[in-house]
Structure formats: C-alpha cells, structure tokens
A and B are shown apart, each in its own frame.
Chain A
Amino acid sequence: MTAANLADAKPSRPAASAIPVGPGRVPWQREAVAIVIGFAVLALLPFVFTDSYSRHVLIMVFIYAIVASNWDLSLGYGGVFNFGHIALFGIGVYAYSLLTKLAAMDPWLAMVASGVIAVIAAVAVTIPILRLKGIYIILVTFGFAQLVMQVILSQSDYTGGTQGIVRIPSLYVFDHNMVRDGKFAYFYIALALLAASTVFLRAFVRSRTGISIVALRDNEDYAVSRGISLVKQRLITLAASAFFTGVAGAFYAAYQRNASVEVFSMSLGTIILSMVLLGGTSTIYGAIIASFVLTVFSEAMADFGAWRPIITALLILVVMLAYPGGIVGMLNAAMAVFSRRGSAGRG
C-alpha cells in the first residue's frame, strides 16, 4: 500500500486536505487539471439541456454553490460560525438593485461594486466578533443579518420595504438578447462566476494565509504563539468570503429582476447552510456538490408539494447522522473501500 492510499483510507482525519504537509495532499497541478475538466463538462450542459427550465435550475445551482462554497471558507476553514453570511448575499442583491435603479450605474460595474460593498459589510460585522467565540459569534452574526433586514424594511422609500424592488436592470452582453436565448447567456455568466469563485477559494485555502486560518481554527493558542494574528486573519477570512457572495447576490438580482427581503429569510439560510454541512465542511467542493444535489433533488420532487421540504429535511438528517463528514466524507469512505480492494488485488 502506498502512502497516498494510507491517507485515503482514513477519511475521518480532520481537514486533511487543508494542511500542506503529509501524504495524500493533491498537488496543485492535478487539482487545476481537475477543475478545468470539471468546468469544461459543466460548460457543455446547455447543449444537453436545451430547455430554459433545466437551464434555470442549473443557474440557481451555480448561485447557491457560490454562496455555499464561500460560506465554507469562513465556517469550515475559518471555524467562524458566521450566520450573517446569507445577509452578505442579501446585501449584494440590494446593493445591485439600488445602484442600478437609483444611481443608474452600469450593471456590470454595479455587480463588482456589490461585491465590494459586501466585503465592507463583512468587515463591519467582523469587528464586533473579534473578541467572541463559538456560540456568541452565531448570535451576533445572526443579529447582524436581522439588523440589515430591519433597516431595509424600514427604509421603504428606497428599498420598497416589504414590497421589494421590481424591474431591476438586467445584465447585457453587447447587443445579445438576454431574454429570448433560453437563458443561454445567463448560464455562462453564472458558470463563469462559479469558476472564478472556486479558483479563488481553492487558491486561497492552499495559500499560506489559508493554512494559517486553519491553524487558528484547530489550535488558536498555538497558532497565536507562532505569530499568527487572530484579528488580521479573521478579518481577511470574512472579507474574502464576502466578495463573491455579494457578486452572486448582484447576479441573482440581475437574473430575477426583482428583490425582496426573502433573501434574508431563515429558510434560505437553512437551505444554504445545509448545503455547506451536507457537502462536508472545509472542502469547498463539498458545498458545490451539495448545492447541485439538493437543488436538483428538490426540483425533482416538485410534484410532492408540501412533502418536498419534509423529504429534504429527512435527507439532511439522515446524511448528517450517518456521515458526519457529509457527501465528501461519504465519497471518501467509498474511495477508501475501492483503494483497499485495489491494493488487495495488487498484493
């Protein structure tokens, strides 16, 4: 049995993928090739699914995947129980809507600006949680999300309050008609955003900064004593997880063309959080896979009506109880079985 097989055989080892030492860590060249192949396959999907409904489902998968995988950065790698993450998405939605409607900003520029605004908001929410730990962070960030929602609701002159905002300007690609192409253009924009976000996240968690964040999570005292700044790294983590989340919010607003405070709701937060945990934390890919599984699963059960959320909840419970490592943990366990068989055959 090779060293790599040995590592594969222990899937429960905590966050093995994030730590740059030891066997079993995939070299970045191999991972880059895998990413390119994966996204090339995804890019072919519109030619398989030519109807606009399937493409719509895939676009929603990509949006959720961006939000969930960025959440995995702060929650999984950073160990920061940031329950305000969904508010960063909501801030992106409203920033884009207000910038394009009230300030008449160019949609593409507004999308980037929304990401920047989400980063600023993330820094603002990080300052009060710098001294806090664990459950207190959940409560403050949860409070932050509610605060943002209340402010948006109360400023109804600008935000439409409970009515929301309608007729938000959409994105444009030269003179291409975005409405009558069966969501072709939106599919590729969403896919490009997911690709950019994924490459950014994976590069980030493989960098020295990413490793230091994991060190802080796993042994704060030791990491701090080795000269890692908790304040600086936590600010960087939250800010890094905010940009693409805000951009995804802006894209969502441009795509749906309306905005409401539903984006701050607990139900959306629950769904995205279950994607992060169902996929398996500290993997980035897990959240993306789980977004796909949960969204498609939920759409496939559209005929079940009220039973749909019940079945989804049961699925989440079963996976969480049986596989603490989520879907990626499940895949690792399956791989371990295969590699054991493989090495047995060789031996």
Chain B
Amino acid sequence: MNTAADILFGGLFQGSLYAMMAVGLALVWTTIGVFNFSHGVFMMLGAYLAWQFVALGFPAYVAFPLAVALMAGVGWLLQATVVRPLIGRANLVLVVVITTLAAGSLIENGALVIWGPRSKQVPPLLEGNITLGGIGVSLHQIAIIVITPIILAALWAFLNRTRLGLALRAVAQNEDASRLVGLNVTALYALAFGIAAALAALAGIFLGGYRFMTPVMGADPLLKALIVVVFGGISSISGPIFAAYVIGFFEAICSYYFGLYWTPALLFAALILTLMVKPEGLFTRSGRGFA
C-alpha cells in the first residue's frame, strides 16, 4: 500500500512541477519557434523576487502574484531586447540559443551580485504536513498538485476560448496569414514571452517553497523542461503537459525500483529511444501549433 502511495504521490508531485516548468517553454516554441534558454533563470528570478517581497513585509498572497506579474514584464523585456531584433535571421534558432543563454547568465550573475550566494527559502504555499495513505506529505506539495492542473486548465481555456488566445494560436500556425488578417504579431510574440515568464516564475515559487534556492537553481529545471518538451513533442502545448506527468511517474517508479542514481540515466536512455522511434515526440500529430 505504501509503495503505491509513494509512487502515486511522487509521480503526481514531480509531474505537476515538470508541467509548470515546461509549459512556458512550449508556449514560446510554438508561437515564436525559438527555444528560450533563459527559461530556467526566469524560474530563479521569480523565486527571488517572491522572496524579496516577502522579506519586505508583504504577505505571501500579495508577494507571489506581484513577483509573477513583474516576471511577465521581465519576459517581455527580454523578448524585446534579445529575441525580437533577431527574427528573420537565417540561423535564428541557433543565435537565439546563444543570446538567451547570455541573457540568462547576465540575470543569474546579477542575482548573485544582488542577493549573494547564500541559499534562501520562499515560504511554502501552505504550512504543515499531513499523513495520506500511510506516507507523510507536506501541504505545500499537495497545493502544487492541486494548483498546477487549475493553472494549466486556465491556460487551455485562454488559448482555446478567448479571442486573444485564438490569435496566439493563429500566429503559431501561420505567421504570414495572421499578419494578413490584421493581427499584431509583434505584440503577440511579446504576450507569449510574458505569459511564459510568468509561468516560469510560478514554477520558481513552487520550487523555492520546498527546497533551498540559489542563483544557479534554474539550470536543472531548464534541463528537465527541455526533456519534457522533447518527450511530449514540441509542436503542441498539451503534449508536454501529458509528458510531464508520464515522466513524473517514470521517475517515481525508477527511483523506487532502481534507485536515484540510475533514474536520470534511464530517463535519458528512454528519451533517446523515443526520439529514434518517434522523432516528433510521443503526443504529436503533425505541424507546429497548439493542440
């Protein structure tokens, strides 16, 4: 019974985290067609901003939304400075990899200068622990498991049920046609980046609530987000979300039966095998665009 509870809980928790980390990355890829390698740094900065607001005396329910909103602005700024001017260049994907990496390094070291290398912790979403099905879990983790699907559902509703969301999907599917029907493609790019950065900030707050945060905390989540996006197929938003939970459970099962040491190696082996058999990802039909 405990085994099942362990795996179920571990899988749900990791899956929720991975989904939060990956969905912003997937959003930017589907709309703009670039990979934002400063996505991990966004998570770090979001967590630090939240910490800073809490340290200034704001209650968590004010500090967290404030940090998320501010990060949307940071995302917009980054897009306007290091991504937008490059659109249209021949080797766009590659150049954006390096500019976002450089911008990420800039922010990361900036955080190091401002906040110092000592690790900090954001207050958890909910204090306390409970026992569920024979295992002890913290309410913070439960909150993450509950909040993540709500946010993802809201994002889905935004992309599928509102005019603005439909416009974003239109840009993702065909940029020229979107321009022809009068959509402001530049503004929509900025919007995609802003939403992605806000989602990253939320993931950062989730992370900072249960483990210690440092300026380099974004590197590992970025890697995980990349894996999730590849697994799920980079042509849709829903693919990576499913993949996040699949990977969460895969890791929970692997670490239970093979130990923590072998889990990453097994995961990567599974990733490479997946790509050899189905290069476009597990949950993909064809073409770039939201599904």
Contacts and interface: CB of A to CB of B under 8 A. Distances in A.
B4 interface: no
Contacts of B103: 313, 317
Contact of B279 (A131, A144, A274): A131
Contacts of A146: 223, 264, 268
A147 B98 contact: no
Contacts of A128: 272, 275-276
Interface in A304-347: 306-307, 309-310, 312-314, 316-317, 320-321, 324
B273 to A, nearest CB: 8
Interface of B is mostly: helix
B102 interface: yes
A287 to B, nearest CB: 13
Nearest to B96: A320
Most A CB atoms within 10 A — which of B89, B219, B261?
A: B261
A14 B90 contact: yes
B117 to A, nearest CB: 9
Most B CB atoms within 10 A — which of A274, A310, A313, A316?
A: A313
Contacts of B60: none
B272 A306 contact: no
B90 A139 contact: no
A306 B113 contact: yes
Most A CB atoms within 10 A — which of B95, B262, B279?
A: B279
A270 interface: yes
A154 B102 contact: no
Contacts of B35: 135, 138
A147 B29 CA distance: 24
Contacts of B229: 139
A14 B108 CA distance: 34
Interface in A140-157: 140, 142-144, 146-147, 150-151, 153-154
A96 interface: no
B180 interface: no
Contacts of A324: 89, 95
B269 interface: yes
Contacts of B70: none
Contacts of B77: none
A274 B113 contact: no
Interface residues of B, number: 42
B217 to A, nearest CB: 13
A6 interface: no
B98 A316 contact: yes
B268 A150 contact: yes
A320 B102 contact: yes
Interface of A is mostly: helix
A273 interface: yes
A81 interface: yes
A310 B109 contact: yes
Given A132-B279, A270-B105, A317-B82, A143 B272 contact: yes
B262 A273 contact: no
B272 A140 contact: yes
Interface string B220-254: 00010011011000100000000000000000000
B264 A307 contact: no
Contact of A147 (B85, B91, B268): B268
A310 B110 contact: yes
B93 interface: yes
Contacts of B226: 139, 142
Contacts of B110: 310
Interface in A1-45: 14
Most A CB atoms within 10 A — which of B105, B112, B113, B227?
A: B105
A132 B90 CA distance: 19
B90 A147 contact: no
B265 A151 contact: yes
Nearest to B86: A321
A266 B112 CA distance: 17
B106 interface: yes
A14 B112 CA distance: 39
A74 to B, nearest CB: 12
A105 B250 CA distance: 41
Contacts of A200: none
Interface in B99-122: 99, 101-103, 105-106, 108-110, 112-113
Contacts of B130: none
A146 B265 CA distance: 8
Interface in A54-81: 75, 81
A188 interface: no
A331 B98 CA distance: 21
A143 B219 contact: no
Nearest to A317: B102
A298 to B, nearest CB: 12
Interface string A156-192: 0000000000000000000000000000000000000
Given A143-B230, A146-B268, A267-B105, 16 more contacts: A81-B94, A132-B279, A139-B230, A142-B226, A146-B264, A277-B98, A306-B113, A307-B113, A309-B106, A310-B105, A310-B109, A317-B103, A320-B98, A321-B85, A321-B99, A324-B95
12 contacts: A132-B279, A134-B93, A135-B35, A139-B229, A142-B226, A143-B227, A151-B265, A273-B101, A306-B109, A307-B109, A316-B102, A317-B102
Give 5 closest A-B pairs by Cβ, nearest first: A147-B268, A313-B106, A316-B102, A139-B230, A313-B105
Interface of B: 29, 35, 82, 85-86, 89-91, 93-95, 97-99, 101-103, 105-106, 108-110, 112-113, 219, 223, 226-227, 229-230, 234, 261-262, 264-265, 268-269, 271-272, 275-276, 279
